[in-house]
Structure 1
C-alpha cells in the first residue's frame, strides 16, 4: 500500500493535535492544582494534631515530666522516635522549645489556647516539672501526615511522620496532587479538537472550492480557466488533481479550437466548388449549346466535393478513435514498395523520378487501410511538390521493432516555423499554394500513424527539399502502443 503526501499531512496533523491537546490538558490541570494549592495555603491556620493516640501520648508525657523532669521526658521522646510515635514539642513559658527545635509563634499561641480548654481530647497539654516549671506539650500536624489504623501493631502505634508505613495503606498527602475538575480536561480537549478540525476542514475545502469553481467555469464555456495558480505552493494529491484539471482544460480548449478552425476551413473549402457548380448550372441555362462542357465542369466539381467530404469523414473517424476497419496482418516493406511503384508511374507522367530502397521484414497486425492512406499521402505529396526533373527518394528500414519510412523530395521546402503546422487540416505552405489540393493529406497521415502508436515528423533538407519520416511499431511491441 502506497501512502501519498496527503496521508502524511493527515498523519502529522492528527498527532500534532493529540500532542497539543495533551499539553493543553496538562497545563490546565497544573494551573488548576496551583490555584488550589494557593487557596489552601492562603486559608491554612496553625494546625494541631489530635485524636486518641495524641491524647494518650500527651497524658503519658505529662506524667513522666511531673515525676522525672525534663531528662525523663527527653528519654521518652527519644524512645518514641524509635517507635515512630508522634513528634511532640515542649515549650517553656518564654516561648522557647526546650529541645532546641524551631516552632512557629502562631502555632504555640494556638496550642496554649487549646491547652486551657476543658476538652479531655484537647491536642495540647500544660504540665509541670518536679521543680514547679510550667511547660506546654503539643503535637503539631505535619503536612502530609495521616495516621491510618494498622492491623499488625497495637492500637495507638503507627509510622513516624514522613516515613513510609510498615503495613496498611500509604499515607495521604494532604497537599499533594489534587483531583482536578473533570470539565477542565474535557473542555481543553474539545477546544483543541475544534480548532484543528476547523483548520483541517479549511485546508481541504479551499482547493476543493477552487476546483468546483473551475469546473463550473469550464462548463459555462470559459475554457481558459486554470486552477494551478490558485493552488499556490501546495504539493499533494489535490494539487496533482488541479494539474490534471488544467491539462484537461487545455486539451479541451485545443480540441474546441481545432474544431472551430476545422468548421471554418470546411465552410471555406466547400464554398468554392459550390459556387462553381452554381455558376456552371447558370451557364447551362443561359446557353444550352454549351451543355456538354458545362456538365463536364459540374462533374469535376462533384468529384472534388466527393473527395473533400471523404477526407473530412476520414479525419473525423480518426479523431473520434472509431475502428471502421479491422486489424489485419501486413508486411510494411511490401506495402511501402507497392505504393512507391504506383507513385513512380505518376511521377514519370510529370517528368519526375522516384526511387525506393529497403529490404527486410516488418510484419504486424494493423489497420491496413489507414497505414496505406498514410504512406500514399506522404509519397504522393512529395511527387506533387518536388521540382521537375528531380528524384523523390523513398527509403524503408526496420530495427528494434520499429519500421521507419523516409521520403525526401527536392521541392521548395517549408518554413521552419511551419514544420508542425503542415499536419493541421487545411494548412498549405505559401510555397505550395499553387499545387492544388485541400491540405488534408498530411493531417490524415498524422492521425493514421498516431492511431497505431507511431509518429510522423518533417524537416528541411540542407540542400533544398523536405524530408518526411514515419515511424511505426510492429510485432509484439505495437500492441501496447495502439490507440484504443
Structure 2
C-alpha cells in the first residue's frame, strides 16, 4: 500500500513531463532521472522488508545459479569471470533470494571498480560452508567501516551498494542471515575488495 501511494504521484509527474515543450528537454531529462532514482529507492525498501522472515529452502545447484547471474551481468560490457568448484553439490537455499544477493554483489563491484571482476565458488576450510566470493580491483573500504556498512541506511562514499537508500548491503546481510550464513568483506592485499557469502551445507529434513 505504501509503495502504491508513493508511486502514484511519481507516475503523474512522469506523465506531466510528456507534455513539456521541446525547449524544456533538459528539465524533462532531469525530472525523469529523479523519478527513476526514487522508484529505485522504493524498490530497495520493499526488498529489505520482504526478507524479514525465513523462507522455505530447497536444494539447488549453486554453481548453476551463480553462472546464470554472471551471464546476465555481462550486458554491462565488463569482463566477469566465474571460477567454480565442480565438487560443490546442491545446497539448501532460496534461489530467488540468493540470485538477488549475487546480483547486488556483482553490481557493487561494477559500480566501484573499473577492472575485471572475478567470481569464485569454493568450500571453506572445514567444508561446513560453500563460499561465493566476488573480487574487484576498486578502492576497497576503510578497515574501520567494514562492519558498519551492513547497517540499514548507512550512507557515505564507503557505503557500497547504497543506491541512495543505504539498503544494498543490508539486504544482502538479511538474506544471508535467513540462510544461517555469513557475509564478509575483506580488502584484498593486491587492491580491491572481496565480498564473500558463506552458505551452510546441511541436509534438509521433511519438517523443514
* TM bin (shorter chain): 0.7 to 0.9
1:313 aligned to which of 43, 46, 55: 46
Paired position in structure 2 for 1:331: 61
Q: Is residue 144 of structure 2 the alignment partner of residue 404 of structure 1?
A: no
How do 1:11-160 residues align onto structure 2 when only pairs under 5 Å count? none
Map residues 413-428 of structure 1 onto 2, 5 A cutoff: 413-428=140-155
SS of aligned partner of 1:321: coil
User: Which residue is 2:3 aligned to?
Assistant: none
Query: Distance in 2 between the 1:377 and 1:429 partners?
Result: 18
Alpha carbons 2:109, 2:136 under 8 Å: kept: yes
Residue number among 388, 392, 404 corresponding to 2:117 in the alignment:
392
Give the 3-state SS of the residue equivalent to 2:180 in structure 1: coil
CA contact (8 A) 2:136 2:193 kept: yes
Structure 1: which 5+ runs fail to align? 1-269
1:429-475 deviation line (CA, Å, top 9, x unaligned): 53578x98223221111111110000001111123211111100134
Matched residue, 1:353: 79
Q: Distance in 2 between matches of 1:362 and 1:429?
A: 39
Q: Contact 2:48–2:170 (CA<8 Å) still a contact in 1?
A: yes
Deviation at 1:322, TM superposition (A): 5.8
Higher radius of gyration, 1 or 2: 1
**What's the offset of the Cα at 1:424?**
1.7
Structural mapping, 1:340-379, within 5 Å: 340-346=70-76, 348=77, 352-360=78-86, 361-379=88-106
Quote the Cα distance in structure 2 between the aligned partners of 1:372 and 1:415.
27
Distance change in 2, residues 1:322/1:454 (3 Å): closer
Q: What is the rounded CA distance, in whole Å, between the counterparts of 1:432 and 1:321 in structure 2? A: 24
CA distance in 1, matches of 2:143, 2:48: 25
Give the corresponding residue for 1:442. Answer: 169
Query: Which deviations, in whole Å up to 9, do the C-alpha atoms of 1:280-308 show, x marking residues without a partner?
Result: x6x989x6344666555444333322221
Q: Any residues of structure 2 matched to 1:173-192 within 5 Å, and which?
A: none
In the alignment, the residues of structure 1 paired with residue 121 and residue 104 of structure 2 have an alpha-carbon distance, to the nearest angstrom, of 16
Q: How far is 1:367 from its partner?
A: 1.6
Q: After superposition, where does 1:244-283 map in structure 2 within 5 Å?
A: none
3-state DSSP of counterpart to 2:138: coil
Structure-2 residue corresponding to 1:302: 35
Gaps of 5+ in 2: 1-5
Distance between the aligned counterparts of 2:133 and 2:91, measured in 1? 19
TM-score scaled by structure 1? 0.35
**Counterparts of 1:316 and 1:460 in 2: how far apart (Å)?**
29
Distance 1:380 1:292 in 2: 30
- Structure 1 residue 317: Cα displacement: 2.7
Sort the Cα spacing of 1:305 and 1:344 in 2 relative to 1 into closer, same or farther, 3 A.
Answer: same
CA distances 1:389-445 after superposition (whole Å, capped 9, x unpaired): x22121111363421111111111111110011112232453578x98223221111
- 1:336-367 CA-to-partner distances (Å, cap 9, x unmatched) read 12212222331x2xxx4222101323313322
